Structure 1
Amino acid sequence: MIRNPVVSVSVGATAIALGWGQSLFRNVQRLPLVGSWVRQGIDELSQRGDRWLAQNVDPLRARVLPMAGDLVDLVLDQIDLTALVRERLDLDALVAEVDIDAVINRIDLITLADKVIDGVDLPGIIRESTSSVTAEVMTDVRSQGERADDRVARIVDRVLGRDRDDQ
């Protein structure tokens, strides 16, 4: 709100004058001889005011609106809008009113998935996981091969009558 003593005094004086004018108008309008003249004068003033407004509002608007836009731009240039929003806006209340389903429906999921996949080194992940699995499998195959060799050697030793402790 504008806090200017000149504005406050002017508005206060205008309010008093309007109050007195309304009171005077109501009382004078009730007087038997003068009341009809006052009503006629008020009607003429009202019509004159309507004509003036009809003739001058559009030109006045054409002058004021561009200035108002420029004034708003000047004010906005002086304000840190981010700080203003943080100080004055309840972001939690605003976000609570957001229709999340509508937001999600506006997302192009295919494009999003493509971007995520492009950002992931899928061949590298597959290479890493298969190389560790391959190493484990090879170790298991070697161990099983060694155990099979030992069994075959024992069978051959028995058939040939060899003692394994001698070797």
Structure 2
Amino acid sequence: MISRRMLLLLDLMCVVGVAWAAVLIGGLLAGVRLLPTGVAVIVTAVLVLPGFTAGLITNRRVVLGRKPQSGWIRSVWAPPDLPHWGLVLSGLALLAFWVAGMSAFIPMNETAPADAVAAYQQRFALGMLGGVGVGGSTLAAASLLRVRRGAGAR
């Protein structure tokens, strides 16, 4: 089980990774590649993926009561229990990263210079990792709120 402090740390890392990806994508959209693709993508992945994984793990719930339809299913994934405004903001941020990543394909052609192609590839990778980071921070925040509500109810 992941402790509350560790989950908070991983959630903060995820948020920093999302901000990092947003800054780098902003630079790419302005025509400036701030870092080489390898460095930008690896740092973003290191910041985002642990929080995403922790968010998925902590949103699993053990099946209690009625037996599941399949004998090998012992737990189910629970969707995030956040206020509607939080889910809307997360959805909009996810959409923004998805559009930023997918729109990198629009200007690509065979005659594009190698530097432009590298910028498009970096924008695509950062857009996808930024979206994963938004999802991870949303899931981790939902877990933190659920733990806080559960501790406050006792």
What TM-score, normalized to structure 1?
A: 0.22
Larger radius of gyration: 1
Instruction: Identify, as 1 or 2, the structure richer in helix.
Output: 1
Which one scores higher on RCO, CA 8 angstroms, separation ≥ 6? 2
What TM-score, normalized to structure 2?
A: 0.24
